[in-house]
Amino acid sequence: MPRPALAETDISAQLREAIARGQFSPNERLVEAELAERYSVNRAHIRTALAVLDRDGLVVRLPNRGARVRAISDAEAMEIAETRLAIETMVARQAALRGDAKGRASLRRIEKDMRRAVTQSDAALYSQCNAALHRELQRMAGNATANRILNTLKSHLMRLQYRGILLPGRPRASLAEHAAIVKAVCAGDADAAERAMRKHLTSFTRLLKQAIEATRMGGF
Amino acid sequence: MPRPALAETDISAQLREAIARGQFSPNERLVEAELAERYSVNRAHIRTALAVLDRDGLVVRLPNRGARVRAISDAEAMEIAETRLAIETMVARQAALRGDAKGRASLRRIEKDMRRAVTQSDAALYSQCNAALHRELQRMAGNATANRILNTLKSHLMRLQYRGILLPGRPRASLAEHAAIVKAVCAGDADAAERAMRKHLTSFTRLLKQAIEATRMGGF
DNA sequence: CCGCGCCAGATTGTCAACAATTTGGTCAAC
DNA sequence: GTTGACCAAATTGTTGACAATCTGGCGCGG
């Protein structure tokens, strides 16, 4: 059986998840003693977790003044989306080149579920499929480095969604984009896969930009 | 005056640097008590630093068995180089779009120094200029997210160099590539900048692949 | 009424002691 | 000789105590 994860690693992950889900507001103070009690660990673990999250950019810490949930500016949200685009287009390419038959079958199945979600107007299902599709592409690409980075970036972007700044997207419009990605990856056409992913994420980025300009948020 | 960095953050940076410079061998055990003495801090700080470096992928930790310098496989070295390429091409594009006059002047000056380094066969100077050039491009692009990621990736790649797996590059050959990047960025031509950077890093990646196949290293 | 210094409480930063676990070696039994 | 139990040293994991620092409010003097 696999050795259990270190408690510290575990706490980092839990806190990361909680912040990504918007359970803490931007700039909210993260008091070590409180968190230690809430997660039933001692302060040392919380301290370590906060240091890790600081490195991830989810938290800022000021000497002697503790940690806060990092507020992300409009400009930075765009940066994150652009960086994600750069990496994920590479992932799409690699998935097309290195993907296995099992992965391709998964993609097709996910696409089918997406179509069903659209016809049934099931936004939750679509969102779930969307996540599954991107996850499967990452798995197929088999680029652990890229995956780690992408997951961190996504936890930032997830905050937008949970804070209602970014809507779950428009299934009908993005379905075609997703289908194009699946088609290209399954055909093993790296260039087409990259193009399709770029197109998809460019429209995501455009959406984000609009949302930002609409809400004129001061950080999330 | 700027508030001093947290001791923990500082120790993480020092350890990261030491590992990047090859002062610890792959798989070498990192005993907390030893490091605490070496860096004149207590074990708690070292523990935290190790957790951060674990997240960075520079270290692996096994429960009750401590931390080791992470050995990076051939395949993973390629992954890292590819991911770097994906991000840095974006940085080049953004530098072309958003760079300021001061940055462009810096680039030109660095290019001049590079030429001098080549004519004088000063490998150390060239290497220094190379780092300065990439750093300046990052600054011009102003993408803090990308910068953070790139710096982490570079600390991995630096290990290759310090371990003698990857030579400092061949100045004469790469000078032209660098010049092309500078030219495109200074002209504000984003597409050309991206292409030039892609070309440059593609040859870097090719070089890495050859080095890997030559040494058949089992991890670094 | 307003500003300023100062105090108390809250919180972070530091440290050392102790508990739990792993590791490597020794020794006895077969 | 080999196997296996056991022990001791090394190391990691956990915890609590204490020191240092910040924060907000109170009262004093202007």
The pLDDT-based confidence of A3 (bands split at 50, 70, 90) is very low
> Residue A212 pLDDT > 80, yes or no?
yes
Nucleotide with the nearest C1' to B63 CA: D12
- pLDDT per position as a tens digit, A102-156: 999 999 999 999 999 999 989 889 989 999 999 999 999 999 999 999 999 999 9
Question: Would you state the pLDDT for residue A216?
Answer: 65
Strand C-proximal residues of B, range 7-26, CB below 7 A, are: 7-8
Amino acid, single-letter form, for residue A91: V
Identify from A12, A45, A138, A145 which residue to disrupt to test chain B contact, counting B C-beta atoms within 10 A and taking the largest count: A145
Answer yes or no: are the C-beta atoms of B197 and B92 closer than 8 Å: yes
Q: Which of A47, A82, A143 sits opposite B79 (nearest CB)?
A: A143
Domain ranges of chain B: 7-69, 74-215
Nearest to B196 by CA among B217, B182, B213, B212: B182
- Token pair 């996910």 in the structure block, residue: A110
Give per-residue pLDDT as tens, A18-35: 999 999 999 999 999 999
List, for residues B107-150, the tens digit of each pLDDT value. 999 999 999 999 998 988 998 999 999 999 999 999 999 999 99
Q: What percent of chain B has pLDDT over 90?
A: 80
Q: In terms of DSSP bridges, do strands B59-62 and B66-69 run parallel, antiparallel, or are they unpaired? A: antiparallel
- Which residues are CB-neighbours of B10 under 8 A, at least 6 positions away? none
pLDDT 10s digits, B141-184:
999 999 999 999 999 999 988 876 666 667 778 899 999 999 99
Residue A178 contacts residue A200 (beta carbons within 8 Å):
yes
pLDDT at B212: 86
Contacts of A143 in chain B (CB under 8 A): 79, 82-83
- Mean pLDDT taken over chain A: 92
Q: Which residue is nearest to nucleotide D10 (CA to C1')?
A: B31
Q: Using the beta-carbon criterion (under 8 Å), do B86 and A87 form an inter-chain contact?
A: yes
Q: Any idea which fold A74-215 has?
A: Four Helix Bundle (Hemerythrin (Met), subunit A) (1.20.120)
Which residues, in sequence order, are CB contacts of A181 under 8 Å at separation 6+?
A92, A133, A137, A193, A196, A197, A200
Fold for A7-69, please state it: Arc Repressor Mutant, subunit A (1.10.10)
| Res. B2 pLDDT band, cuts 50 70 90 | very low
What distance in Å separates the CA atoms of residue A57 and residue A152, rounded to the nearest whole number? 9
Model confidence at A171, pLDDT cuts 50, 70, 90, reads confident
CB-strand contact A42/D, under 7 Å: yes
Taking CB atoms and an 8 Å cutoff, what residues of chain A touch B94? 82
Mean pLDDT on B56-62: 96
Which chain A residues are Cβ-neighbours of B49 within 8 angstroms?
A: 51
Report CB contact under 8 Å: B143, A4: no
Q: Which of A4, A47, A148 sits opposite B57 (nearest CB)?
A: A148
Interface of B with A (CB under 8 A): 3-6, 8-9, 12, 44, 47-49, 51-52, 54-57, 61-63, 76, 79-80, 82-83, 85-87, 89-90, 94, 143-146, 148-149, 153
Strand C–CB A40 distance below 7 A = no
* Model pLDDT, residue A68: 97
Give the residue-averaged pLDDT of B22-28. 95
The pLDDT assigned to B177 comes to 95
